[in-house]
Amino acid sequence: MNRFKLFLVTAASVLAIGLGLPNTAMAADPPKPSANTAQVSGDESSAYETGGWVYVAPGGYGSAYVYCPTGRTPTGGGGQSYGTVRAFLTDSYAVDPRGWFAQFYNAGTTGVSVRAYARCA
């Protein structure tokens, strides 16, 4: 009986935490995976860069990169997934003086597209 109560409390906690997280899946089809060409949006003082989409097979890991324009450095960044909510961002950090790296694990049963993004200043 105590194990069952512990299971219910744990399951309820996981659901409550999961419901509070933003869903990074998108509603429309993403562009086909391509080279990591950055796209600039935002003002000139702080640009938001996104890399190209990278396909990650079910049960696999995938890496995505994005680079800030010359003369700018990443001040933060992360990753975005498309196609399933079962893709997990496992690593995200600055690389080189201008780049950002994001690694994903696809725990789903279908493929997923992922990409890195960075805020450049």
Fold of 24-120: Immunoglobulin-like (2.60.40)
Amino acid at 76: G
Residues 20 and 24: their CA atoms lie apart, in Å, by 12
Ranges of each domain in the chain = 24-120
DSSP string of 99-117, one letter each residue: EEEEEEEE-SSS-EEEEEE
Look at residue 45 in the predicted model and tell me its pLDDT.
59
Residues 78 and 116: their CA atoms lie apart, in Å, by 6
Span 90-103, average pLDDT: 96
| pLDDT bracket for residue 84 (50, 70, 90) | low
Span 70-78, average pLDDT: 95
Contact 21, 81 (CB under 8 A): no
Residue-wise pLDDT for 7-62, tens only, equals: 333 333 333 333 333 333 333 344 444 444 444 444 555 688 999 999 999 999 99
